[in-house]
Amino acid sequence: MHIALLLVTLSAASAAPNSWSLVPSFNSFFKEQGDNVVSWYNDAANMKDSVENYVEEQQRMFKDKFNDYVDDIQENGRHLVDSTYSSRESSLLDNPDIILSVPGIITRNGYICETHTVISQGYVLNMHRIPRSRSHSDVSPKTVLLQHGLFASSADWIMNGPGKGLAYVLADAGYDVWMTNIRGNRYSKDHVWYKTNSQEYWDFSWHEVALYDVPAVIDYIMEIKGTDTKISYIGHSMGTTILFAMLTLRPEYNNILTAGFALAPVVYLSDMKSPLKSMAPIASNLAYIDSLQGTYEFIPKNSALGQISSTCSGENMDSLICKNIVFYLCGFNERQFNKTLLPVFLSHLGTGTSWKTAVHFSQEILSGKFAQFDYGYWKNWRVYGTQSPPDYDLSKVTLPIKLFWSKNDLLSSEKDVQALYDKLPVKPDMFLVPDEKFNHLDYLWAIDAPRLLNNEILSSLEAHMPDYSFTVRF
């Protein structure tokens, strides 16, 4: 249309007296437009350089402060305040869990820890295993696979310490405990051929974890222990998303697993109460902006989380800011909040995930569906053969399931949990945590976790393993 209009204008000009006198004005016009384009690109390049410089400066600042923090811990080892802390007096404790790895923490607490490696689609996945309790020498035939949530790692299951952390509780109850680490986190960062700063490396969401990685882990455990091994799956938050996606994409695992336990299920998200929901409409745009800078990892470890971890230690851990980091996003529950664990929790948080994972969750929030990744109209046709991504077919889920939920969970609401319940063909058991204030992270670090949660998990496991009955109470 623009070309036709230009030709008509030139024709009219050529028919007019002294028509060629108009040509310089056209030349001036196009030169001006060309100059504008060049200027725009120069401005865009300068803006990109400014953004990159700003990001590099912020990352350098956070990294320097985090390194100073770690150096100080290594030198003094006195960065945590006792649970009896008050603003006037405090008792400083040594807590190396802030800087120890998961195997280091487990070993420090007197348990055996093994690291096992599985390669899935080139990703080198490292699992942590507690094969038995401190008081037994034989490996238990009873096996549990623990799958952590977003921004997390196997550390989730041990941070609450012996007697409270679920991995320790299960080991003490006679279980062989396997803890996964999803592709991209600090323990599963390597890849056979991709570099970790490449777009190809970060081209995944929880869909690929469910389709390839967790099945590979389960197959590996059965290879080690025998194909008749009874394996129960316990997932928290995104760990539940992975479970239900896997059971629809790889329905044969409905018959391989013994039971599934979903802590704070995150499948349907349209009723999410957390302020994180407000980020959903702009997640794709933010991911695109980061991609222009060559960044495909969502909230890398050297980002603001390191600064937050440093800030929320010592005398600051009781501040409103530090508490609200958790309460604002996940639900207020000060009674179950062990403030001495906050620096430990934050130091193990932010272990690496992809922007694609964050965008996938934002699509779930906006669509109200449990569906595969939405690439947009044209790429959906190429990938799926349809204009919209297919839903995960929950009618294929036949594994015995138990859903654990709480009324104060801002990320997993009662309405969304009920929507999941309604979609499952084999109706799952439901357990409402008996604490009105129990929030999304209390599943991992609640002070009263044994009474409120762990005993119910243990009794539910007993019901699905009649040949290995046991009774443990705390």
Bridging pattern class, strands 176-179 and 143-147: parallel
- Residue 271 burial (CB count, 10 A): 16
Give the integer Cα–Cα distance in Å for 162 and 345. 15
Measured between alpha carbons, how far is 270 from 364 in angstroms, rounded to an integer? Answer: 7
3-state secondary structure of 425: coil
Give start and end residues of each alpha helix (H) in 19-146. 23-76, 102-108
Would you call 148 a catalytic residue per the annotation?
Answer: no
Answer for the pair 437, 448: CB distance below 8 angstroms, yes or no.
Answer: no
- Beta pairing class for 143-147 and 123-130: unpaired
CA–CA gap between residue 88 and residue 79 (Å, rounded)? 17
Question: For residues 204 and 357, is the Cβ–Cβ distance under 8 A?
Answer: yes
- Distance of alpha carbon 97 from the chain centroid: 21
Looking only at the bridges linking them, the beta strands covering 176-179 and 257-263 are unpaired
Q: Is 236 a catalytic residue?
A: no
Reported as half-sphere exposure (CB side, CA atoms, 13 A), residue 465 has a value of 28
Catalytic site residue from 79, 128, 207, 440: 440
C-alpha span between 62 and 54 (Å, rounded): 12
Find the catalytic residue in 133, 237, 347, 460: 237
Instruction: Please give the positions annotated as active site.
Output: 237, 440
